[in-house]
Structure 1
């Protein structure tokens, strides 16, 4: 797992009380439309802009919606987070109790599923409406570490008046997202929250480290499942008598025969038995097997896709839909891949590695990262992407579906090419 960029809310060596006063001045000036005494951090400034567009009331005190007990239990079971719960509690709960914090786990929809920790802080959170079952997205309660991390898709710490809603200015919180290692899907966020005077610059790093540890545990579980599928796949492939591969439901390859080995195959959302075009192998016959799919390249040559639709209307689930002679299928994109495809869709003549680096990072020198990500993309979507320069294939029609508000395009992104 690579190191993530972490930005603590409290600058190194800063006095927390003095910094809180500065933040309060910045917050008041921003709401009044006056000149700012200093600029908020980029992640906070972007969130405040979203709050203004959404019409969130900075003085709002109306309680956010809370799930009923039955629906809360259902979301706990289906969130994909229950398996990570022991690791998260083991890494954070004792510290939360000792440091006057609460540990909060929310799902990808922003609903608080579990809340543990200091009894005194839990009572204080009750008064704020920060309870199990509540909707803690930005849209409901303004800028906060949980809701903002869900949008930004990265660890976020929020301190004092960085919160958009004034009722939360007496709080500090640090949150890190949790992703499903099988498909990169956002599962939710783990958070430590407490009274503002308890702020500490290392809290964010701790929360992020425990989140990564939980993801590693989920990855270990997945590898065990894949090994089980591998044991089943060997005799199946022996009977097929031709090139074939067995992959799990997320496209991870358990075993292959007569085909170049790959780690993962891009599979469409809602894959069904029958014929389908896959970027890795072209036209294929797909059959279900316990725990996955048997995939056999067809002997006939299928026409490559003729149309792709990049849909970025959803702030949290960008998708790529590929259409061709064998039908249409949709693949959910990671935030980074959504950014890259959006840039390529805006530059049909293509982008070099250095140009893409500048587009994404504001730095033309990060070409190694760009080439690695483009290599992954082309393994997934080789039939629609070309290189030298990187671009959509010339014979593919590309359509981008955007939200009505240009600022709502990939709101997690800080890429210069997207944020302008």
Structure 2
């Protein structure tokens, strides 16, 4: 293939369409490095695939290749293998801490496997970004054997001329071995879902939780501090300088009645996979994806909360999403953000972008007048 129009495999053609829609430039883009080495070490320690990495390394150890394991966001957490290939990979940001989702670096085996949920091989010029035409990569998703949730992908990459055609089958087999290993040796992980943007909804393993605002503040603080917090740290985050550790311990004791063994002590932390709309926004902003951040932003974080930790995070998220929306100038993103509040600058931008014949123009104009009153 010599240009984008020559892609024939549907999986590649569809991936190119998604990548180009995300404004990935085939000539100028490179994978962003979004995590420092110390942050990667922290992420590895809490990631459910950590238990399977030794097995994957043993199964996929080959000359002239590297083995990569990513999380669900496409962030490279482990990169092992041939030293020469690793040095070449580092020059093109195929390294730990970089992000390889389709929306930031275009068609590639890791990102496309995450997007489709299926094994995929991307060979040479099938990569959207021309920098990677000298590489061939084969990746396969790995799912939690207990819940079916996607945990990340395993990938083998190497220079174009050294990758054997059988590698793709080996990678898929290794992914299934990893899932079997997790089923046999890794305890089932609870899944705690916190949707606190514009409201207060949470569930544990699909079971709705009846939370007070203070309960939600505690869970949000724990989600934002996954390494854990002492009672003294909690008191400061929830109440400020007037906080009392004894009060915090009582709050946590009441919350444990609903969470059981999911809430650990010394320090206080959550023994669960924690998902949440505000966490999705944070991750998207960290990766520079303003569009995704806006799609997940459904309103302010726990808008009735006055806890310092929540107030600070609420202001940071709102300011960062607003900045990204205004800088992009994307109509859909502006409309989505406008639904979360009466922001005069956002509404003015929408009024200028929407054709006067569009019914939304009159609605935006009316909201703008109210915002300026």
1-side partners of 2:31 and 2:260: how far apart? 48
**Aligned residue in 1 for 2:364:** none
TM-score when normalising by structure 2 = 0.52
Seen in structure 2, the aligned counterparts of structure 1 residues 62 and 150 have a Cα distance that, compared at 3 Å, is closer
Asked if the contact 1:159–1:199 (Cα under 8 Å) also holds between the matched residues in 2, the reply is no
- Measured against aligned partners, the alpha-carbon deviations of 1:57-83 in whole angstroms (never above 9, x if no partner) come to 001144513311222122112221111
1-side partners of 2:258 and 2:134: how far apart? 56
Seen in structure 2, the aligned counterparts of structure 1 residues 63 and 149 have a Cα distance that, compared at 3 Å, is closer
1:132 to 96, 105, 108: 96
1:268 to 206, 218, 236: 206
**Aligned residue in 2 for 1:87:** 55
1:52-91 superposed matches below 5 A: 52-62=20-30, 64-91=32-59
Using the TM superposition, give the Cα deviation of residue 88 of structure 1 relative to its aligned residue in structure 2, in angstroms.
Answer: 0.7
Runs of 5+ unmatched residues, structure 2? 193-203, 213-256, 264-290, 297-331, 334-373
Using the TM superposition, give the Cα deviation of residue 128 of structure 1 relative to its aligned residue in structure 2, in angstroms.
Answer: 0.7
Using the TM superposition, give the Cα deviation of residue 181 of structure 1 relative to its aligned residue in structure 2, in angstroms.
Answer: 1.3
Using the TM superposition, give the Cα deviation of residue 189 of structure 1 relative to its aligned residue in structure 2, in angstroms.
Answer: 0.7
Matched residue SS, 2:136 = strand
**Aligned residue in 2 for 1:143:** 107
TM-score when normalising by structure 1 = 0.47
1:7-406 superposed matches below 5 A: 24-25=1-2, 28=3, 30=5, 36=6, 39-62=7-30, 64-93=32-61, 95=62, 98=63, 100-222=64-186, 225=187, 249=190, 267-268=205-206, 271=209, 289-290=260-261
Using the TM superposition, give the Cα deviation of residue 92 of structure 1 relative to its aligned residue in structure 2, in angstroms.
Answer: 0.8
Q: Return the structure number with greater helix share.
A: 2
Matched residue SS, 2:15 = helix
Using the TM superposition, give the Cα deviation of residue 272 of structure 1 relative to its aligned residue in structure 2, in angstroms.
Answer: 5.3
**Aligned residue in 2 for 1:401:** none
Asked if the contact 1:102–1:116 (Cα under 8 Å) also holds between the matched residues in 2, the reply is yes
2-side partners of 1:58 and 1:250: how far apart? 38
Asked if the contact 1:182–1:250 (Cα under 8 Å) also holds between the matched residues in 2, the reply is no
Using the TM superposition, give the Cα deviation of residue 314 of structure 1 relative to its aligned residue in structure 2, in angstroms.
Answer: 7.8
**Aligned residue in 1 for 2:222:** none
Seen in structure 2, the aligned counterparts of structure 1 residues 267 and 63 have a Cα distance that, compared at 3 Å, is closer
Runs of 5+ unmatched residues, structure 1? 1-23, 31-35, 227-247, 252-265, 275-285, 293-312, 319-403, 406-420
Using the TM superposition, give the Cα deviation of residue 136 of structure 1 relative to its aligned residue in structure 2, in angstroms.
Answer: 1.2
Q: RMSD over aligned Cα, in angstroms?
A: 3.2
2-side partners of 1:88 and 1:180: how far apart? 15
**Aligned residue in 2 for 1:299:** none
2-side partners of 1:55 and 1:167: how far apart? 16
1-side partners of 2:135 and 2:80: how far apart? 16
Matched residue SS, 2:48 = coil
- Measured against aligned partners, the alpha-carbon deviations of 1:170-220 in whole angstroms (never above 9, x if no partner) come to 000000111111211111111000001123321111001011101101111
Point out the more displaced range, 205-214 or 67-76: 67-76
List structure 1 runs of 4+ shifted beyond 3 angstroms: 248-251, 269-274, 286-292
1-side partners of 2:185 and 2:209: how far apart? 23
Asked if the contact 1:273–1:288 (Cα under 8 Å) also holds between the matched residues in 2, the reply is no
2-side partners of 1:113 and 1:290: how far apart? 28
2-side partners of 1:41 and 1:189: how far apart? 21
Matched residue SS, 2:174 = helix
Asked if the contact 2:20–2:106 (Cα under 8 Å) also holds between the matched residues in 1, the reply is no
Seen in structure 2, the aligned counterparts of structure 1 residues 89 and 272 have a Cα distance that, compared at 3 Å, is farther
- Measured against aligned partners, the alpha-carbon deviations of 1:9-34 in whole angstroms (never above 9, x if no partner) come to xxxxxxxxxxxxxxx23xx152xxxx
Using the TM superposition, give the Cα deviation of residue 49 of structure 1 relative to its aligned residue in structure 2, in angstroms.
Answer: 0.4
Using the TM superposition, give the Cα deviation of residue 55 of structure 1 relative to its aligned residue in structure 2, in angstroms.
Answer: 1.1
